[in-house]
Chain A
Amino acid sequence: MTAPFVPPTREQLERVRALAERRLTAAELDAYVHAPWADGEREGTRELIDWFVRRYPTPLERLRAARRAYHRARARMPDG
């Protein structure tokens, strides 16, 4: 059975945002960018891209779809 979605707390969100928004050094950035792909990660990424461009064949459709997805996700956040 799938568990119901539990939105993160504001504190959890702030922690994640602080981590996601911090500025990396050049060495940290390069280490992240050049880290080896995990097993299946590259294939999974390509499949996701393939699906996205198949489902939304034009740039305009992609922009509109991403906008809808963002607002759906935003509505489920604590300050949404």
Chain B
Amino acid sequence: MEASEFDELEFFKAIAASGAKALLIGRQALIALGLPVMTSDYDFWVHRDDVAAFNEAVAPFGLVPSHTPDEARARGRYVLENDEHVDVIVARSSSTVDGTVVHFDDLWARRQALPLDSSVDVAIPSLDDLILTKRFAARPRDAEDIRLLEALRDREPVT
């Protein structure tokens, strides 16, 4: 499988320009922070009112939503796909494996802006909140990611 001509910078620029409240979560957020883990998928948590704006922003990259915005809001999540795969949570809140309810608005208020270049930032949750999101799916690799995030938290700042 060849890497498609996907331009990360233009992708994140388009999302930022859309004004959609979109948090990069999942392993791409870990990579951006400095953890050398493997993934190809993007995971976002998007404000439920911003689904259409988010879809419109990524449409020029050929990404097609699996559901309409109304359907996505009803389901709480959907997918955007072509050669790339983007998982999107649109729920107001989500629960960790031990029942802690995590609200999008709280994560958004505590978000950090990670500069990709001089013109665009990517919004990601705080380190503690990113660890919380890793407790949603609670797979073995999420446990490993939590250990890595905690190691990163104990380290000097990287950016």
Contact = CB atoms under 8 A, between A and B. Distances in A.
Nearest to A55: B36
B38 interface: yes
Given A25-B97, A60-B116, A64-B8, A70 B40 contact: yes
Interface residues of B, number: 44
A-side interface mostly: helix
Given A33-B143, A53-B34, A63-B28, A23 B138 contact: yes
Most buried by A among B31, B38, B117: B31
B142 A52 contact: no
A45 interface: yes
B15 to A, nearest CB: 13
A59 B151 contact: no
B62 to A, nearest CB: 16
Given A23-B139, A60-B116, A68-B3, A45 B151 contact: yes
B32 interface: yes
A5 interface: no
Nearest to B120: A60
A80 B48 CA distance: 35
A30 to B, nearest CB: 8
B52 to A, nearest CB: 26
A21 interface: yes
Interface residues of A, number: 35
Contact of A70 (B39, B115, B138, B151): B39
A51 to B, nearest CB: 8
Interface of A: 19-26, 29, 32-33, 42, 45-46, 48-49, 51-53, 58-60, 62-64, 66-71, 73-75, 80
Interface of B: 1-3, 6, 8-9, 28, 31-40, 96-99, 114-117, 122, 135, 137-144, 146-148, 150-152, 155, 158-159
22 contacts: A22-B139, A22-B140, A23-B137, A24-B140, A26-B97, A29-B142, A32-B147, A33-B143, A33-B146, A45-B147, A46-B155, A52-B34, A52-B36, A53-B158, A58-B115, A59-B33, A60-B117, A66-B39, A67-B40, A70-B38, A71-B2, A74-B40
